[in-house]
Amino acid sequence: MTMERLLIPTFEFPPYAGGVGTFCVELAKSLAARGIAVTVLAPDYGTARHPDDATYPFAVERFPASGYSARILPTLVRALLARRTRFDRWLIADWPFIIAAGIARTLAGLPPFRIFLHGTDALILAQGKVPKLLRTTNVFAHAEAVIANSEYTLSIARANHRSLANTPTRVALLGVNPYWFDDAGDTVAARARLGIPDGRPLLLSVSRVDERKGHRLMIAAVAALPDDLRRRVVYAIAGRPGDAAYQARLEAMAAETDATILFTGGLAQDDIRALYASADLFLLVGENRTDKIEGFGLVYLEAAGQSVPSIASPVGGVPEVVLDEIDRPAGRRPRPRPDDRGDRTVADRRRHAATLRRGRAGAGTHA
């Protein structure tokens, strides 16, 4: 029996850190485990050396590119056309390749393909000058299916792309690798290595430092805590800067309070897992924006894998990930009785962890 040959074109892939890259790695691993011959097509980010590529259970082919601009589109189109007869099917996982596929299909016949949408990409494709000028989002009408990571993302896509009207669509909520449920090892040593004092309550955010993630709101909230609590807690912000100017504003905000607020920068997975395991609370209260949306939110699941409760805001697809009071959709939160709040929080945390572990067998698949 011949193995199906699947190409996953993406513009975000390790060593570039981000949710789309994580999605592509885990999806490719899962499909390879099912007997599909998977190849990921990704940028080389300006270097020929990618030693980790050889460790994956799937193939990785690189093309010359660092950052996206419209000038890179001919390179993407050529990369797709050069592979149109080598694969039985494509799963287009990132918006630059959606644009490129829209151009490529006018030049040659393409194999059957599906498209995955993550959130902001649905807006970029609707609002960007290049997609509008080239009318490349008509490619949705020629896809076998369009898959979204949440009902929210799919609603944004439908509202902005009429070419989706007759294309099969579905929602595939994401999951995380079983790695995030495993023992995190020596968390005390990890905290010491990262300069985080031991024995003090730890509040944690993990994400790219970007305005839509709401770090300014979280710093302001920590600064507003009662004096004794504010001086005891440590708030660690883990993630590489997405905008240097925004990072500088956050650092200035942090300097104005006597709370201990640390910026760790980008971290290795082992360190992130250790921080989750030693954290008392995970904070990520995203902000509503018209140019970027939070389609899902994998980090809430990673934190939950280490039994850490989250405080989130009901933006984008986050209410499909973080359930208010465990079993109630966000926005329908009952008023707790003063005498049962603490006990119920502990019980809910343990019940949520048990639920997540029961689903561990399927957690390695993102779609």
Cα distance between residue 15 and residue 52, in whole Å? 9
Q: Is residue 326 part of a domain?
A: yes
The percentage of residues in the chain with a pLDDT greater than 90, rounded to a whole number, is: 71
With contact defined as beta carbons under 8 Å apart, do 108 and 283 qualify? no
Residue 12 C-alpha from the chain's centroid? 11
- Please tell me whether residues 184 and 125 are part of one structural domain: no
Query: Could you read off the pLDDT of 40-92 as tens digits, one per residue?
Result: 999 999 998 999 999 999 999 999 998 888 899 999 999 999 999 999 999 99
Q: Which of 156, 171, 186 is the last residue of a domain?
A: 171
Domain match, 105 and 191 both: no
Do 144 and 87 belong to one domain? yes
In a domain, residue 367? The reply is no
112 domain-assigned: yes
| β 89-92/59-63 pair status | unpaired
What are the helix (H) ranges across the chain? Answer: 19-33, 73-81, 95-104, 120-127, 129-134, 151-160, 187-193, 215-223, 227-232, 244-255, 269-278, 298-305, 341-358
As for how many domains the chain has, the answer is: 2
Name the domain boundary from 171, 191, 210: 171
pLDDT in tens, 1-46: 578 999 999 999 999 878 899 899 999 999 999 999 999 999 999 9
358 has a pLDDT exceeding 70: no
Identify whether residues 232 and 287 lie together within a single domain.
yes
Domain that holds residue 334: 178-362
Same domain (yes/no): 237, 158: no
162 domain-assigned? yes
Residue 225 within any structural domain of the chain = yes
99 and 145 both lie in a single domain: yes
Answer whether residue 145 is part of any domain: yes
| The model's pTM | 0.82
DSSP 39-86: EEEEE-TT-S--GGGGGSSSEEEEES-SS--GGGHHHHHHHHHTTTTT
Mean per-residue pLDDT over the chain, rounded? 87
Is 83 within 8 Å of 77 (Cβ atoms)? no
In tens, the pLDDT along 188-205 reads 999 999 999 989 999 999
Is there a single domain that holds both residue 197 and residue 93? Answer: no
Residue 341: exposure state from Cβ atoms within 10 A (0-12, 13-18, ≥19): exposed
How many residues are given for the chain?
A: 367
92 and 202 in a single domain? The answer is no
Mean pLDDT along residues 213-218: 94
pLDDT for the residue numbered 29: 96
Q: Is residue 161 part of a domain?
A: yes
Q: Which of 120, 139, 171 marks a domain boundary?
A: 171
Question: Looking at the predicted structure, is the pLDDT value of residue 342 above 50?
Answer: no
Sole residue written with tokens 């905290």: 191
Output the domain CATH number for residue 320.
Answer: 3.40.50.2000
- Residue 156 falls inside a structural domain: yes
Higher pLDDT, 185 or 345: 185
Residue 337 token pair:
């009785």
Together in a domain, 86 and 211 = no
Q: Are residues 159 and 203 in the same domain?
A: no
Q: Which residues contact 293 (CB under 8 A, 6 or more apart)?
A: 119, 120, 122, 123, 152, 153, 156, 212, 315, 316, 317
Do 28 and 167 sit in the same domain of this protein?
Answer: yes
Q: Residue 207: what residue type?
A: S
- 126 and 185 share one domain: no
